Amino acid sequence: MLLPRPAHRFSVPLPEPEPEGTQGETEEGAAYGWRDACPAGHPIRGWLGPVRCAPCGATAYGPRPLPFAVVTALLCAVLAAATGTRPELAVWLLLAPVGVLLAAVDLAVQRLPDPLTLPFPVVALALLGAAALLPEHAGDWPTALLGAAALGGAYLLLHLLNPSGMAFGDVKLSLGAGAVLGWYGWATVMLGTLAAFVLGALYGGALVLARRADRRTVIPFGPFLLAGTLTGLLIGAGAA
């Protein structure tokens, strides 16, 4: 129930470049990457909870709370089942809503906001560092750090080779994904990375077969990066 408002606020497309010789006003906080007003122009207050506007007295705009609640609850349930009572479970449960939020925003406007992607690896590594100090943890913090660097470097290389095929937002998100996957070792990093590309390829292929896209169509890769990370994490946690 906490995610609809940040999902609505962050679901702003990047502003289009302005023609030379013109200077326009930024609408709805797009320069900062989030909405700051409702459709009627009233300021949006706060970042958590359902989308409401007191002056309008309306809740009809923005994403519905129920899908967020259901997806987040299911995600936390499968993570708990795979991880058990180990200390890192608390880390996965804290990061899971952020992953749901990132996927929702990327699906809506094909962008991964910096205020979410940049802190993600820092918070993940800090929380995993705390978990590593507790007994009965099943991961390795140095490998999590190296996993973040390795996966981030690999995605950066893909971005440099093909900027239109791999957006820089995905590069930033891959740092957090690498930290999470690296906790359970290099095999989990490889598995989660492979799963992300396989899922993305299957989705793109399905769109082409359904004639809803062609080879030049840009699809958001963030949800598949996150789904691949979840796949690797569940297998890594179950095998640990």
Which token pair is 204? Answer: 């793109």
So what's the pLDDT on residue 135?
Answer: 94
So what's the pLDDT on residue 180?
Answer: 98
So what's the pLDDT on residue 184?
Answer: 97
Whole-number Cα distances in Å, 25 to 14, 16, 36: 14, 12, 14
Asked whether 231 and 198 are in contact (CB, 8 A), the reply is no
DSSP 58: B
DSSP 17: P
So what's the pLDDT on residue 66?
Answer: 87
Whole-number Cα distances in Å, 87 to 120, 137, 186, 188: 19, 6, 20, 18
pLDDT (tens digit, 0 to 9) for every residue of the chain, 240 residues total?
A: 788 889 988 988 776 544 444 344 344 444 457 888 877 788 888 888 888 777 776 555 678 888 899 999 999 999 999 999 999 999 999 999 999 999 999 999 999 999 999 999 999 999 999 999 999 999 999 999 999 999 999 999 999 999 988 999 999 999 999 999 999 999 999 999 999 999 999 998 898 888 887 777 788 999 999 999 999 999 999 998
Hey, which residues does 53 pair with through a beta bridge?
A: 58
Question: From CA 149, how far away is CA 153, in angstroms rounded?
Answer: 6
